[in-house]
Chains A and B, each alone.
Chain A
């Protein structure tokens, strides 16, 4: 068990900076998820921690020990690869036992540990099989099992679920969460899927283009994104953005998008007053846009006239794809909504739940 620290870590491939000044301190027993779009440097960061890549600058610590020059096998970590990387010629048992045999564990101890891991993962019946005789989900379990038996200080996962079908992915997600609770060890988990990140992590590090954007709990990332990238990346369907300008109209503060304007309620206008006249990006999540006929009580709302482009009935709610002038956006509205495709409608923006970003810096204005 150990903490992990990335201290000003850089990794360059020629001209490409895959990891750019990464600073993260991961507490012992934490479940940290590195999330970001494909190619943002998540894998590189993880592989650097594993010792599979030599970093260009900075320090990586496991516990108190700087591991920059420590061989992968001596870092006391275990890694689950996206491809699973099971040894194709070895049985499931031997796959899991491989690392222990190399480390000269006794036969009995190997047997005990493999058996225990197989019990945890429900793969007792598969021990004699070769990897090619397993389904994707089973291989995934074996790959996890191979990591468990080593009893490492830190578990690393590189998109372990991305090769599974949607249903299995959901199931494995909760199993890995349970595993974390059971093992009480540091987990570092890489994914491009924000849903995975949100459902599993104790904290999430959002990365874009090699740069750490925000490091926080799932709820805080959702409620208080630091910048436009995080706001757009976390949440599904994604947050709606409108380019506009902060404008003073008498004692009211408005966001004017050109097509419509919404008034910022007095309770929040104080924060934005100094920025009047600035080009901003107004962000609001789909669930905070309501059908004007079904606005929840006690919220400050602003009505906007829109044209309905597409409707998707989800049962307990309806996704409306809306247009207002140049802007297209999504609303998740009450299933009783009478909105019909092609017709005009009126929606209400919940003005207690919106975000404003500086159009220049793309940072949140708070």
Chain B
């Protein structure tokens, strides 16, 4: 019948509207992303299969001298075929993971403990402490790195001067001259064994600790505030000491907030380009190099654009794997608390 088919057509039309309308709204955002995200991304993948070098910069992918090299760049990176000294992809990757893990392993517990201490009821000048520890969060890592680089300076650095004064108390007259960021072999062998980790690593751990704990304290402080006070009261009646309350209530109830913060801290440290670049530049002898600083080196100094592109693609997949793992972890801890 004519009337029913008309109704059906009208219905189809409105169905069409319903399905298409949301996409219409997404178009502008998609266009922007296409230009600033997807195009460079695809361009980079294409470049990663070429021997793109300085000579090709002018004409880009249209350059006559550009050669398709297939997966050669990838093979070179993974098998150590790049014309770079002291380079081993898996060593850098391992160091990079270790660097990120050891950082959060320090920042998170320290952040929580400091948050709990600052949360003590009746503590004097709470507001001042709370505004103070925001500072490292808002200072650019570049500035922090530069300041700490100076602190670890061999001649004029505060660290060596402090150690000199401390040594003088014990009767030593020689100025302490530790080359924190340059020495490859640690000065005190029994304390810091001579392994893949150089003194610079420890210096950077100290500096990055200053940079990293306040964020964790910030998150933990917020989360602490959301733990109902009466849980502690119930626990104190149940017979829990302050330490038992911390372990049985504070820690488990901070987890939902701290796990995302830990993941954030991990990825931040993992890709902490400006800090590493300005503090040691990856040295000495690439011992503190992380993936992103190395990628930068490939472009900036070695001008191996094709290899750098391939490197970035690999880093992307590393990041993806890390993301998937951490995502799992977050899911597993969701819904602990209502």
Report A's interface with B, CB cutoff 8 A. Answer: 50-52, 71-73, 77-79, 81, 83, 85, 87-89, 98-99, 102-103, 132, 146, 150
Contact = CB atoms under 8 A, between A and B. Distances in A.
Among B228, B237, B244, find the residue whose CB has the most chain A CB atoms closer than 10 A: B237
Interface stretch (B7-15, B54-62, B176-184, B245-253): B245-253
A146 B234 CA distance: 10
Contact of B233 (A52, A71, A102): A52
Among A77, A98, A103, A146, find the residue whose CB has the most chain B CB atoms closer than 10 A: A98
Nearest to B251: A89
B74 to A, nearest CB: 45
A245 B228 CA distance: 53
Contacts of A87: 231, 234-235, 248-249
A45 B206 CA distance: 51
Contact of B253 (A52, A78, A89): A89
B243 to A, nearest CB: 11
A98 B231 CA distance: 12
Contacts of B244: 102
Given A79-B234, A81-B230, A73 B336 contact: no
Interface string B200-211: 000000000000
Contacts of A98: 235, 238, 240, 248
A88 B237 contact: no
B40 to A, nearest CB: 44
A73 B245 CA distance: 13
Nearest to B234: A85
Contact of A78 (B235, B237, B255, B336): B237
A240 to B, nearest CB: 40
8 contacts: A72-B236, A73-B237, A73-B238, A83-B228, A85-B234, A89-B255, A98-B238, A102-B238
A88 B338 contact: yes
B230 A72 contact: no
Contacts of B231: 85, 87
B239 interface: yes
Contacts of A132: 335, 337-338
Given A99-B238, A99-B239, A102-B239, A89 B336 contact: yes
Given A85-B230, A88-B253, A102-B244, A79 B237 contact: yes
A79 B228 CA distance: 16
A88 B238 contact: no
A103 B239 CA distance: 7
Interface string B214-246: 000000000000001011011111111000100
A171 to B, nearest CB: 24
A88 B234 contact: no
Contacts of A52: 233, 236-237
Given A51-B237, A103-B239, A150-B238, 4 more contacts: A88-B336, A102-B240, A132-B337, A132-B338
A185 to B, nearest CB: 16
A85 B338 contact: no
A51 B238 CA distance: 12
Given A102-B244, A103-B239, A132-B337, A85 B249 contact: no
For the complex of A and B, 4 pairs with smallest distance between CB atoms: A99-B238, A73-B239, A85-B234, A85-B230
A83 B230 contact: yes
B52 to A, nearest CB: 53
Contacts of A77: 237
Given A88-B338, A89-B337, A73 B234 contact: no
A71 B238 CA distance: 11
Interface string B244-284: 10001100110100000000000000000000000000000
B233 A85 contact: yes
